[in-house]
Amino acid sequence: MADEIKKNNKHLINAPAGSGKTTYIRNQLKSICINKPESRILCITYTNRAADELKKNLESANITVSTIHSYINDLISPFYSHKEVLDLYCEMYAEKINERIANVTNDEHIKKSNQYYTEKYGKLTEKTVHENLLEISYGETPFTSLYTGKLSHDDLLMFANKLIKRYPVLLKKIGDKYNYIFIDEYQDTSSYVLDIFYDAVKNRENVQIYLFGDRMQQIYRNYDGSFEGKLKEFDTSDRLEVNFRSIGKIVSILNNIYNDSSFEQQPTESNANVVPDIEPHVIISSNVPESIYTLQKKFPKILVLYLMNKEKYEEIGAKNLYDAYRGMEAYTFGRKYSPTDILSDMSNDNPDILMKFLFLLNNVIGLYIDKNYGMVISICKKEIKYFDSSQFKIKKHADKKSIKNKFDKIIEIYEKDGCLIREVIESLFDNGFIPEKVKNDFEENIEYQKVLDIEMKEVSNLANYLSMPHISTQHGVKGESHTSVIFVASDNGNTPNVRMYPFFELWSELEFSLPQFEELFYSYKKIIEEVEKELGMKVSKLTAKTHNKNEKNKTILSKYSKQVLEKYQGNLLFEALCKEDFIAYLKKPNVKNVQKIFKITEIEGILTAYKLFYVGCSRARKNLIIMVEKNKIMNFKEKFVDKAKKIGFTVLS
The secondary structure element, H or E, covering residue 138 is: strand 137-141
| Residue 149 in marked binding region | no
CA quadruple 318, 321, 325, 327: dihedral, nearest 10: 100
| Residue 21 in marked binding region | yes
Alpha carbons 303 and 99: distance in angstroms, whole number: 46
Alpha carbons 325 and 450: distance in angstroms, whole number: 9
| Residue 351 in marked binding region | no
Distance in angstroms between the alpha carbons of the first and the last residue of the chain: 49
| Residue 18 in marked binding region | yes
The secondary structure element, H or E, covering residue 618 is: helix 601-618
Instruction: Write the secondary structure of 469-497 as one string of H (helix), E (strand) and C (coil).
Output: CCEEEHHHHCCCCEEEEEEECCCECCCCC
| Residue 252 in marked binding region | no
Q: Of 522, 511, 538, which Cα lies nearest the Cα of 639?
A: 511
Q: 83-88 long-range contacts, Cβ below 8 Å, gap at least 24?
A: 84/167, 85/136, 85/163, 86/130, 86/133, 86/134, 86/135, 86/136, 86/149, 88/159, 88/162, 88/163, 88/166
Helix extents (H) in 259-396:
288-298, 310-316, 319-326, 339-343, 353-369, 373-382
| Residue 94 in marked binding region | no
One-letter amino acid for residue 483 of the chain: T
Under a CB-based contact definition with an 8 Å cutoff, are residues 271 and 246 in contact? yes
Q: Of 628, 626, 633, which Cα lies nearest the Cα of 647?
A: 626
Alpha carbons 628 and 353: distance in angstroms, whole number: 38
Q: Of 181, 168, 170, which Cα lies nearest the Cα of 9?
A: 181
Alpha carbons 52 and 70: distance in angstroms, whole number: 13
| Residue 262 in marked binding region | no
| Residue 570 in marked binding region | no
Is the preceding peptide bond at 142 cis, omega within 30 degrees of 0?
A: no
* CA pseudo-torsion sign 328, 333, 337, 343: positive
Under a CB-based contact definition with an 8 Å cutoff, are residues 437 and 425 in contact? no
* CA pseudo-torsion sign 399, 403, 404, 406: positive
CA quadruple 355, 358, 359, 362: dihedral, nearest 10: -160
Helix extents (H) in 415-513:
421-430, 436-443, 449-452, 456-467, 500-509
Under a CB-based contact definition with an 8 Å cutoff, are residues 117 and 104 in contact? no
Q: Which residues are annotated as part of the binding site?
A: 15-22
Q: Which residues are annotated as part of the binding site for ATP?
A: 15-22
